[in-house]
């Protein structure tokens, strides 16, 4: 078996590449987690803003009902139109 000599600079460059890849992977994970947290916070804010309105305003109740319905495409288009109208009212 023949052994080849690898200079230390080659090993260092691969180590540097590994470190850079690890850093970029961790950075991406952190970014994704922060983004998910922001989305969750926005969703919570929207829900908390709609809760008081839903108790007092019937149009918001209708809006929530429309958003919960899962019908065929034709009714989805009609619901979207009604949804847009209700949003304009609010």
Look over the chain and give the mean of its residue pLDDT values, rounded to a whole number.
Answer: 70
Find out whether 86 and 66 touch, Cβ atoms under 8 Å: yes
Find out whether 60 and 54 touch, Cβ atoms under 8 Å: yes
Let me know the angle formed at the C-alpha of 12 by 11 and 15, rounded to the nearest 5 degrees.
90
Enclosing domain of residue 90? 57-90
Find out whether 75 and 69 touch, Cβ atoms under 8 Å: yes
- Smallest CA-to-CA distance from 53 within 62, 44, 40 is with 62
Q: What is the pLDDT of residue 47?
A: 80
The band of 89, judged by pLDDT with boundaries at 50, 70 and 90, is low
pLDDT over 70, % of the chain? 46
Q: In this structure, is residue 3 part of a structural domain?
A: no
Whether residue 67 has pLDDT greater than 80: no
Pick the more confident residue, 19 or 85. Answer: 19
Taking residues 10-32, report their average pLDDT.
79
Same domain flag for 48 and 61: no
Taking residues 54-63, report their average pLDDT.
61
pTM of the model: 0.37
- Give the chain's domain count: 2
Same domain flag for 12 and 47: yes
User: Rounded to 5 degrees, what are φ and ψ at 69?
Assistant: -75, 140
């Amino acid at each position: 078996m023949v052994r080849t000599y690898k200079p230390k600079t080659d090993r260092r460059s691969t180590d540097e590449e590994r470190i850079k890849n690890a850093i970029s992977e961790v950075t991406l994970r952190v970014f994704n987690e922060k983004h998910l947290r922001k989305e969750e916070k926005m969703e919570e804010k929207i829900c908390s803003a709609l809760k008081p309105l839903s108790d007092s305003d019937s149009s918001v109740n209708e809006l929530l009902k429309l958003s919960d319905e899962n019908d065929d495409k034709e009714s989805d288009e009609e619901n979207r139109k009604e949804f847009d109208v209700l949003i304009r009212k609010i």
